[in-house]
Amino acid sequence: NLATVSSSLQPTSRMVLLKSFNINGFVFYTNLNSKKGEALKNNSQVALNFYWKSMQRQVCIEGKAKIISRQEADKYFDSRPKKSRISAWASKQSFELKNREELENRLTKYKKKFEGLKIPRPKNWSGFIVEPQLIEFWQKMPSRLHDRTQFVKVNYDWISRKLYP
């Protein structure tokens, strides 16, 4: 789950597909003109939440989202299935859709446009890496006495502390 705040200070959260992570952070991809993309342009501070009900655990992350390099975005885009690449062109993510036929027509248009060609990454499609500043591990415990451990990044070090449930 990714939470952002719009320019009008309206918080919003939604599920995103985490595509990779590394020592620098957590990577996801999106249409830069979408509601999510616009929120990230105005306020790069975000929160991520990974919840595993069956394991009774969650990980909460707060940090700054930064756009990834064009080369990294191109490499990932090229690895996507052809239909997903065409869909990235066809969808005006987060904008009003009059009816399903409008979307189907756009899909047909881009299928024809790129027939037999390499499908380039749209300029308004890229990825973000969330560079964590705070990570909290939570584990459910009996009587709501949950176990919480928080790590906060201070300069280049991580400081840990236990939290009351």
Where in the sequence numbering do the catalytic residues fall?
144
Residues near 147 by beta carbon (within 8 Å), at least 6 away in sequence? 137, 138, 139, 141, 165
Distance CA 13, CA 50 (A): 12
Q: Are 135 and 61 in contact (CB under 8 A)?
A: yes
The answer to whether the Cα torsion of 115, 116, 120, 121 is positive or negative is positive
Partners of 64 in the beta sheet?
A: 45, 131
Residue 78's SS3 state is helix
